[in-house]
Structure 1
Amino acid sequence: MTTSDPGPDTPEDALSERDRAVLAVERQSWSGPGAKERAIREQLGISPTRYYQLLNALLDDHRALAEDPVTVNRLRRIRDARRARR
């Protein structure tokens, strides 16, 4: 690797802490209605609407796929199935 080739572990290739937190919330299981939305507000300090906007963008981000392929691929399958039903 040359000095002009920063490699895959450089800051511009890393997800932000917020992006990692969004993926972490998505990995959790939720006990009942409203629990996830409450956790989004408490843990991330954002609205559920903003959370889902960020999550949807992450699903198309190669860095998110590299960070958490199981979660990202699962969510992509769900998203694709919903789109196919429309």
Structure 2
Amino acid sequence: MSAPPPEAAPELEPRLRQVLDFEREWWKHPGPKERQIRERFGLSLARYHHLLNRAIDRPEALAYDPMLVRRLRRLRESRRRKRFARQLGFEH
């Protein structure tokens, strides 16, 4: 008797995939990032970052683009640490 086939990993939602694709290559296109976000996604910068943070927390995103997702997670964590340090009065 053979083992059951492994379950296919769930796919990342298309919108979240588009956000990751954009994040990987936005710097290659002319103009400020915020303007590109508004033109491409029709979102405010705050809403875009909410969507991006949602994306990088998903295991499907890690499977889709591991290097990018790990880098974005590191950057987010670094920003959180700096913000927390400022709140405690430990500015560098």
Q: Which residue of 2 aligns with 1:39?
A: 36
Q: Please say if 1:15 is aligned against 2:31.
A: no
Question: Structure 1 stretches of 5 or more lacking a match?
Answer: none
Answer with 1 or 2: which has the greater Rg.
2
Q: Please say if 1:54 is aligned against 2:51.
A: yes
1:34-67 deviations in whole A, cap 9, x for unaligned? Answer: 6211111111122221110011111211011110
Match of 1:64, SS state, is: helix
CA contact (8 A) 1:18 1:44 kept: no
Deviation at 1:76, TM superposition (A): 0.6
Q: Which residue of 2 aligns with 1:81?
A: 78
Task: State the aligned residue count.
Answer: 79
Take 2:68 and 2:47, find their aligned partners in 1: how far apart are those partners? Answer: 19
Match of 2:12, SS state, is: coil
Distance 1:29 1:45, change over 3 A: closer
Give me the TM-score of the superposition, normalised by structure 1: 0.77
User: Runs of at least 4 residues of structure 1 off by over 6 A?
Assistant: none
Question: Structure 2 stretches of 5 or more lacking a match?
Answer: 85-92
Match of 2:27, SS state, is: coil
Percent of pairs with identical residues: 46
